[in-house]
Structure 1
Amino acid sequence: MKKQQGKGLLALLGIGAGVFAWWKYKNLSPEKKAELHAKANEVGQKVKDTYNDVESTVKSKYDELKSGAQKGVSDIEADVNDMRH
């Protein structure tokens, strides 16, 4: 029962924080709103760039591992064929 009360209190705090943030935003001057939008766009671009860098690195490592595994399989197949003859 206490666990549910804690979750309910946490939900109320979250809702309260959201309403407070909305109220603060609504009362910002147009200049401050523009600054906030610019900062949000900048952070979003940084996140996107970081994601693209990580994706590129992971793909590169995956391709390296895949080609190494294929080479290993080819080497094993060649060894097996040599042993048969």
Structure 2
Amino acid sequence: MARTDQQFPLRLPPELKEKLENACKESGRSKNAEAVYRLEKSFEEREDYQIYFHLMMEVHKDQQQKIDELHKMVQLLTDKKAT
């Protein structure tokens, strides 16, 4: 059976190659499998970060609306008190 995965020659600095080899020993994966695993994880983490970021922006937007409402209420109370 022919492989359908694309080959991708890759140059690594010696320190990174050593880290990859150490990770392979710990995980029991081949260098290729470890590199693929770590690349996939990095993209998943980015997607998770983007989801988290959008959720936090929604929370911020909601909180800002509440703060604006409170400012309006304080202004109304201050105006009432001044009259």
Question: Normalising TM by the smaller chain, what interval?
Answer: 0.5 to 0.7
Task: Say whether residues 1:44 and 2:33 are aligned partners.
Answer: no
Q: How many residues align?
A: 60
| Match runs of 1:16-31 below 5 Å | 25-26=27-28, 28-31=29-32
Give % identity. Answer: 10
Whole-angstrom CA distance in 2 between matches of 1:79 and 1:24: 70
| Residue equivalent to 1:57 | 58
Runs of 4+ deviating beyond 4 Å: none
TM-score, normalization by structure 2 = 0.59
Root-mean-square deviation (CA, aligned residues, Å) is 2.0
Q: Which has the higher helix share?
A: 1
TM-score, normalization by structure 1 = 0.58
Unaligned runs of 5+ in 2: 1-23
Structure with higher RCO (Cα < 8 A, 6+ apart):
2
Q: Which protein has the larger Cα radius of gyration, Structure 1 or Structure 2?
A: 1
